[in-house]
């Protein structure tokens, strides 16, 4: 009965608007980790909002600095019910991407939850304030019902995930004894389908990198110099096309998964249907690794994406050959890929193809 009653408490927490209130209060804190001026907001989220909530649940909390310069702070929480009990480790991040206030539709704000039909709009509602609010509320419902969880809990809330989690690996290494646990349960990322809850037993890693090419100081008029001066935008585009094909297939062995997909993994993911709902983009079936299903492409192989590309001044182009080009890229990768080998493999490939000037 206690399980059913705890679930009923969780449902009441949502139906009575208490979840909305907690989430709205958290969304209102401008935790834009990419903006140095918002660092005080990162601390405020952990100290003023999350610490009192966790302490009310019986957690001991400590705000700890990031071992990496300019990295955001960490909150470590512990609720220990007894030696010998299993320990669950959970994770969340309090930071969000930039608000981009001016890009929101009329009547919407990144810092205020607005209901429209069945959807709630606000920065962090789906990444990641909504998720860790739900996870903590679920534990709180169990505690309210029976007074104990039956297991120990350790928690990290970081504030730099949207910047690639600088310092997270180092932080966990320094505090590995303190964080030692039996099971990690955390919530982040999209569902396979908006209407269907999804449990992942693992996810691909991500490796961010940039490629830059600077050939000279300043741009030069194409009427005088066109045909004589190498164009870094063109050269970098050709370099990228040697790394990934025009249909999205990774062409450099050192960036691909070093092992073929196992039969057990293929059996687990081959039939997964990726469906983002009515607002999702239409899938391009010919894109990506050939001969794979959609589930295999998303969950079973390495992919390379160009996230941003810039040369010259795109917002105000002039008739001049630019001096500089840059591309921000990343690789999503599966085990047993060693991400430490990506840059050496990329460097060798670029050198072999005559693109040694690209950094």
Residues labelled as active-site residues: 95, 161
Compute the Cα dihedral for 261, 266, 271, 273 and give only its sign: negative
Crossing angle of helices 342-352/232-243, nearest 10°?
A: 120
Place of tokens 């062995």: 253
Tokens 């001044």 identify what position? Answer: 313
Sorted by sequence, the CB contacts under 8 Å of residue 110 that are 6+ apart come out as 27, 96, 99, 100, 101, 104, 122, 123
354: left (phi over 0), alpha (psi -120 to 50) or beta: left
Distances (CA, A) of 143 to 3, 75, 151: 11, 21, 11
In whole angstroms, give the CA distance from residue 11 to residue 300.
35
Token code pair at residue 254: 């050192």
Sign of CA dihedral 252, 256, 258, 264: negative
Q: Can you tell me the distance from the alpha carbon of 260 to that of 14, in angstroms, rounded to the nearest whole number? A: 45
Q: CA-based angle 155:47:60, to the nearest 5? A: 45
Write the DSSP string, 29-54.
S--BTT-GGGHHHHHHIIIIIIHHHH
Question: What's the rounded Cα separation, in Å, for the pair 272 and 303?
Answer: 18
- β-strand partners of 87: 152
Element containing residue 340 per DSSP (H, E): none
Contact at 8 Å (CB) between 90 and 153?
A: yes
Scan for tokens 């687990």, then name that residue. 268
Identify the helix (H) or strand (E) that includes residue 157: strand 152-158
State how far the Cα of 327 lies from the Cα of 315, in Å rounded to an integer: 17
């Amino acid at each position: 009965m206690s399980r059913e009653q705890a679930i009923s408490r969780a449902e009441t927490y949502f139906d009575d608007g208490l979840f909305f209130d907690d989430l709205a209060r958290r969304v209102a804190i401008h935790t834009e980790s990419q903006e140095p001026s918002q660092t005080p907001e990162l601390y405020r989220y952990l100290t003023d909002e999350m610490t009192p909530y966790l302490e009310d649940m019986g957690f001991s909390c400590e705000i700890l600095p990031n071992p990496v310069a300019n990295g955001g702070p960490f909150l470590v929480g512990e609720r220990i019910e007894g030696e010998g009990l299993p320990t669950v480790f959970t994770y969340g991040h309090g930071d969000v991407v930039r608000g981009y206030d001016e890009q929101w539709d009329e009547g919407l704000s990144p810092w205020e939850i607005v209901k429209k039909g069945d959807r709630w709009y606000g920065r962090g509602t789906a990444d990641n304030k909504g998720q860790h609010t739900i996870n903590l509320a679920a534990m709180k419902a169990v505690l309210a019902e029976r007074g104990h969880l039956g297991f120990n809990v350790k928690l990290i809330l970081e504030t730099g995930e949207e910047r690639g989690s600088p310092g997270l690996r180092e932080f966990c290494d320094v505090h590995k004894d303190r964080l030692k646990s039996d099971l990690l349960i955390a919530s982040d990322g999209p569902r396979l389908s908006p209407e269907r809850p999804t449990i992942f037993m693992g996810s691909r890693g991500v490796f961010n990198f940039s490629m830059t090419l600077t050939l000279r100081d300043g741009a030069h008029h194409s009427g005088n110099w066109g045909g004589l001066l190498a164009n870094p935008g063109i050269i970098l585009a050709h370099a990228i096309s040697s790394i990934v094909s025009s249909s999205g297939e990774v062409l450099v062995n050192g960036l691909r998964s070093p092992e073929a997909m196992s039969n057990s993994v293929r059996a687990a993911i081959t039939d997964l249907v990726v469906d983002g709902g009515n607002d999702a983009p239409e899938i391009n079936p010919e894109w990506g690794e050939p001969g794979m299903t959609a589930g295999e492409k998303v969950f079973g192989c390495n992919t390379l994406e160009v996230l941003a590309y810039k040369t010259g001044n795109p917002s105000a182009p002039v008739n001049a050959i630019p001096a500089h080009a840059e591309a921000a890229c990343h690789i999503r990768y599966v085990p047993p890929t060693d991400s430490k080998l990506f840059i050496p493999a990329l460097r060798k490939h670029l050198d072999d193809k005559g693109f040694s000037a690209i950094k």
